[in-house]
């Protein structure tokens, strides 16, 4: 076993030395260099082989709908017939598209002794569009239905007889909770209770970093249901909601600004099936679990693209015997993929044959 690890670490060190000899990373290159931008903002970047300079993936996100306590109580006490099994967390699993909260700054032009001056004006928060898959269990539709019943009497406690042409309702019906029309009386009282959505949080997750975008005090401005067609080629049905909000920011679960911060901060939110729905987010759960168990292995560090010094220092951890069979396979997978990514795949293949590592560095 000792010979194996000596050989393995020797091979890994050779890879690292080869990387060092063949890569020239220039920190703060002179602006006159034609490739200055490529050196700084390319896939290598200033820190060597680091994914931090890579663009985010559009499909790596989750969305969290946070209801106010008053809205939760309304659903529980006033909508038992239609929303008995409804859980707002489950809706997170069915979001197809979401427009991140965007805004513009109004700039005013004024004259100062015939000179043009620009003065900052107000902020305009742009609407956000959230598109749900219209699933068979009606998760997205039930969320919209709870919202409209919360705000508008037209949808709350109505039956076919409610629409008879009686010209004018009786005083009892006019003042009654279930008989009113238009904007509902459900939200009267404490001003905080007028909100159905406390916030909608969109988490962009990229390996071990995440950025969260908050829409605060959210209202639905437009509901667009699907157009059904007999000529459709089994396209999924969608529900599109246009959201307006009073403010936006980047507050994480603990209330701190969270822009490009460690993903482990939201591990409980992602991995707890009660946090974001019964379906869970097993894709992200797997990534976090793998990150927790394998962050200190040579292969994981090569694959993650961290600094060369970390790769060298991790060899000591392996030699001390702090490993498991799964760790070995993770190392093999990481070394293979990492070596291929940086152009040393043939070196690892030769080492695999020489040291008998076929079972470890095999089909990954």
Indicate if 69 and 213 belong to the same structural domain.
yes
**Domain contains 276:** no
pLDDT in the model for residue 91? 83
Indicate if 90 and 225 belong to the same structural domain.
yes
Q: What is the extent of the structural domain holding 345?
A: 2-50+288-355
Structural domain tally of the chain?
2
More confident residue, 72 or 54: 72
Indicate if 20 and 134 belong to the same structural domain.
no
Percent over 70 (pLDDT), the chain: 53
pLDDT in the model for residue 145? 93
Burial of 91 (0-12, 13-18, 19+ CB in 10 A): buried
**Domain contains 329:** yes
Confidence of residue 301 (pLDDT cuts 50, 70, 90): very low
Task: Give the angle subtended at the CA of 297 by the CAs of 349 and 62, to the nearest 5°.
Answer: 105
**Domain contains 363:** no
Task: Give the angle subtended at the CA of 318 by the CAs of 263 and 2, to the nearest 5°.
Answer: 160
Range in 11-25, 59-73, 154-168, 347-361 the model is least confident about: 347-361
Range in 112-126, 174-188, 284-298 the model is least confident about: 284-298
Burial of 22 (0-12, 13-18, 19+ CB in 10 A): exposed
pTM across the whole model: 0.63
pLDDT in the model for residue 174? 56
**Domain contains 282:** no
Indicate if 167 and 90 belong to the same structural domain.
yes
Question: In this predicted model, what pLDDT tens digit does every residue of 3-47 receive, in sequence order?
Answer: 544 554 455 555 545 544 544 444 455 555 666 666 666 555 454
The tokens for 198 are 């406390």
Indicate if 200 and 327 belong to the same structural domain.
no
Whether 2 has a pLDDT exceeding 80, the answer reads no
Q: Hey, which residues does 202 pair with through a beta bridge? A: 63, 213
Confidence of residue 164 (pLDDT cuts 50, 70, 90): confident
Indicate if 97 and 218 belong to the same structural domain.
yes
**Domain contains 364:** no
| Contacts by 302-310, CB closer than 8 A, 24 or more apart | 302/12, 302/15, 302/334, 302/335, 302/338, 302/339, 303/334, 303/337, 303/338, 303/341, 304/51, 304/207, 304/208, 305/48, 305/49, 305/50, 305/51, 306/50, 307/47, 307/48, 308/16, 308/19, 308/20, 308/48
Indicate if 243 and 136 belong to the same structural domain.
yes
Among candidate residues 224, 245, 271, the one where a domain is terminated: 271
């Amino acid at each position: 076993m000792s010979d194996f690890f000596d050989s393995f670490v020797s091979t890994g060190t050779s890879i690292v030395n080869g990387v060092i000899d063949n890569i020239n990373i220039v920190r703060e290159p002179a602006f006159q260099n034609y490739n200055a931008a490529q050196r700084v903002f390319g896939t290598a970047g200033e820190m060597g082989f680091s994914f931090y300079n890579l663009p985010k993936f559009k499909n790596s996100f989750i969305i969290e709908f946070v209801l106010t306590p008053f809205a939760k109580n309304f659903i529980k006490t006033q909508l038992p017939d239609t929303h008995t099994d409804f859980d707002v967390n489950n809706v997170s699993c069915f979001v197809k598209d979401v427009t991140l909260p965007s805004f513009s700054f109004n700039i005013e032009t004024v004259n100062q002794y015939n000179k043009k001056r620009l003065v900052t004006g107000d902020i305009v928060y742009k609407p956000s569009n959230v598109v749900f898959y219209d699933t068979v269990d009606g998760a997205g539709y039930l969320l919209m239905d709870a919202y409209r019943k919360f705000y508008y009497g037209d949808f709350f406690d109505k039956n076919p007889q409610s629409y008879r042409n009686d010209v004018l309702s009786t005083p009892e019906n006019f003042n009654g909770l279930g008989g009113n029309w238009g904007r509902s009386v459900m939200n009267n009282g404490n001003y905080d209770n007028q909100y159905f959505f406390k916030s909608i949080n969109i988490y962009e997750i990229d390996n071990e970093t995440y950025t969260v975008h908050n829409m605060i005090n959210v209202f639905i401005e437009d509901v667009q249901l699907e157009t059904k067609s007999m000529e459709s080629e089994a396209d999924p049905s969608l529900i599109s909601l246009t959201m307006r909000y009073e403010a936006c920011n980047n507050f994480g679960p603990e209330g701190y600004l969270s822009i490009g911060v460690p993903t482990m901060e939201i591990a409980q939110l992602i991995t707890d099936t009660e946090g974001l729905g019964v379906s869970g987010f097993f894709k992200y759960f797997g990534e976090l679990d793998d990150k927790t168990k394998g962050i200190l292995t040579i292969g994981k560090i090569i694959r993650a693209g961290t600094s060369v010094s970390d790769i060298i220092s991790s060899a000591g951890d392996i030699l001390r015997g702090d490993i498991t069979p799964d760790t070995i396979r993770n190392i093999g997978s990481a070394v293979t993929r990492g070596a291929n990514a940086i152009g040393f795949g043939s070196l690892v293949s030769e080492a695999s044959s020489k040291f008998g590592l076929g079972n470890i560095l095999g089909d990954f």
